[in-house]
Every structure is written in structure tokens, then in C-alpha cells.
Amino acid sequence: MESLYLLIPVSVVLVFVIAGLFWWSVRSGQFDDLEGPAHRIIMDRDARQATENKDKSPKDGSFPG
């Protein structure tokens, strides 16, 4: 029974700490754009491949071979 006098206030303080950290992360923009970085990785790879293909193409417009 005496342990409840310690555990209940500790759990309430822990809930407030977790809620405060969550509130801070939402206010600082941590959850604004969850899919953007994943799309940027894919787009960067496509853009890099496109520029590599341009560099490999012949300057006179003829087909390689």
C-alpha cells in the first residue's frame, strides 16, 4: 500500500513529461511533412541519373554504337 503513495505521483509526473515532450515536438514542426524526405530521396536519385545520362550522350546528336 505504501508503494502506491510513491508510484501514483511518479506516474502522473511521467505523463506530464511525455505530454510536454510531445507538445514541444508538434510545436517545433517535427510532424509537418512525414513523406517529403522519402520523396526527395527518390527524386534526387532520378535527377542524378538523368544528369549522368545527359553526360554520357554524344555531343553531336548521333547515337552511340
Tell me if 37 is assigned to some domain.
yes
Q: How far apart are CA 61 and CA 63, in angstroms?
A: 7
Tens-level pLDDT at each residue, the chain (65 residues): 899 999 999 999 999 999 999 999 999 988 888 788 777 777 766 566 666 666 666 566 565 55
| pLDDT attached to residue 46 | 59
What's the predicted TM-score (pTM) here? 0.51
* Structural domain total, the chain: 1
pLDDT at 54: 66
**For residue 32, what are the domain limits?**
2-54
The reply to whether 49 falls in a domain is yes
C-beta of residue 45 within 8 angstroms of C-beta of residue 39: no
pLDDT at 10: 97
Q: Is residue 45 assigned to a domain? A: yes
The answer as to whether 41 is a domain residue is yes
Residue 17 included in any domain = yes
Assigned C-alpha cell, 39: 520523396
